[in-house]
Amino acid sequence: MSDDTASALAKPATTATKREPWSAYALTWRVPLLIWQFLFFVVPLCFLIYLSFWLVKNYRMIPGFDVVNWVKMYSKGYFWDAYYLTFAMAALATVVTTIVAFPCAYALSFKVSETTRRWAVFFLIIPFFTSYLVRIYAWQVIIAENGVINGLLSYIGLGPFIMLNTKFGTLIGYMALCMPLVVILQTFSMANVDRNLIEAAHNLGCGRLRTVFTVIVPLAKVGLIIGAVFCFILSFGDFVSPYYLGGSRPPTLSILIIDTTKSGQQWPKSAVVAVTMIATLLVVAFAAVATAYRKPK
């Protein structure tokens, strides 16, 4: 490849990264989103942060600016126990869900017809038609000690296995929440991988497994990471699974928020927990997005 050809190929990329001047047309489309984000994310977030400095006296919140809630909450061992547990459980759910979802998404992307893929995506969307809480109650019936799974296992002389009200139960709930979404995101990202590149890899002698890890995964990286990030975000903030399938034992941060409000209107302390959760999610999300869009050297 000559230098001229290389620079010619590089040119469009340079043009694409050049910032377009502001125009009324572009603003018309951008402003509503900015207003929405400002009103329904930035303003409530600022209020939440402000609330964390308020005080509670005689069951009444007193506006003010005192760091006592932050000091008290951060000095409690149970807060950090809940934090590490929530982070670890969300990370575990992310890893397990991403790994389990991948073969399914791979099959939907490369091994089935277009019609089958459409139907599969439709069926993956169907769980969202039902309330998440109802689905979790259904899981209680399935994984209870006298539930469906243990009932079936008993026929072959196994069990009963204790799954409900354990961390395993929480993990099942997280996966029930996230799996359909992660499979859909992974499927869409892999379905858009250029088939010619896969064919080229095969023609150059690359085995199937190696093609997956050196061609498909890097090319679908953005979708795979976005799927994982969604899984982490949803699991990290989830209240339902750790409460109804994990038995709140030990509690996660979302349960800690509920517990804290039960101690005499301690909304400011709950705000400390909430702000910490949001900060953690922002760091994780930005790090993941930066990794997803990082250009290979």
Partner 1 sequence: MKKNDKTQILSASRRDILKYSGATAATILAAPWVNRAWADTVELNMLSWYGLAEPDMVEEFEAENNVKFKPKYYAGGDNMLAALAQSPAGTFDIIHTDAEYARILIARGDLIDEMDPSDYPFGDMQHEDFKNFPGHWADGKLYSVICRFGHLGVSYNTEAVTHDEAMSYNVFWDSKLTGKVGHFDWHLPSLGEISLLNGNNDPSPFNIDQAAWEAVQAKTLSLKPQVKGFFDYGGTFSSLKNGEILACVGIGDWVTGVVAADGAAVDSVVPDEGGIQWTESYSIVSTSTKKDMANKYIQYALSPAGQVRSANMKAYPGFCVTNAGQEALIKATPDEARRTGQMPGMSNNPITLINEGRIHYRDTPKQQSLEDWNEFWSEYKNA
Name residues whose C-beta falls within 8 Å of residue 251's C-beta, 6 or more positions apart in sequence: 82, 242, 259
User: Which H/E stretch holds residue 161?
Assistant: none
Q: State yes or no: residue 276 binds partner 1 (CB under 8 A).
A: no
Binding-residue pattern over the window 130 to 149 for partner 1, x denoting contact by CB under 8 A: -------x--xx--xxxx--
Q: How far apart are CA 93 and CA 234, in angstroms?
A: 10
User: Closest approach of Cβ 262 to partner 1, in Å?
Assistant: 5
Shortest reach from residue 153's CB to partner 1, in Å: 16
Q: Which is nearer to partner 1, 265 or 276 (CB)?
A: 265
CA distance 173 to 255: 15
User: Of residues 267, 276, 281, 292, which one binds partner 1 by CB under 8 A?
Assistant: 267
User: Measured between alpha carbons, how far is 22 from 35 in angstroms, rounded to an integer?
Assistant: 17
Q: Rule CB under 8 A: choose which of 30, 76, 111, 118 binds partner 1.
A: 76
Stretch that binds partner 1, among 12-20, 98-106, 212-220, 249-257 (CB under 8 A): 249-257
Q: Decide whether 97 or 165 has the Cβ nearer to partner 1.
A: 165
> From the CB of 56, what's the least distance to partner 1, in Å?
8
**Taking contact as CB under 8 A, which single stretch among the options 104-112, 175-183, 220-228, 264-272 is the one that binds partner 1?**
264-272
Q: Say which residues have a Cβ less than 8 Å from residue 81's Cβ, sequence separation at least 6.
A: 250
Q: How do the residues of the chain divide into helix, strand and coil, expressed in percent and rounded to 5?
A: 75, 0, 25
CB 105 within 8 A of CB 186: yes
Q: Is 164 in the site for partner 1 (CB under 8 A)?
A: yes
Rounded distance between C-alpha atoms, residue 125 and residue 180, angstroms: 7
Q: Restricting to residues 206-245, name those near partner 1 by CB under 8 A.
A: 243-244
CB under 8 A: which stretch of 13-21, 34-42, 178-186, 251-259 binds partner 1?
251-259
Residue 286 in tokens: 């930005």
Q: Please name which of 70, 44, 66 lies closest in space to residue 55, comparing C-alpha atoms.
A: 66
| Binding region for partner 1 (CB under 8 A) | 58-61, 76-78, 81-82, 137, 140-141, 144-147, 162, 164-165, 243-244, 246-251, 256, 259-267
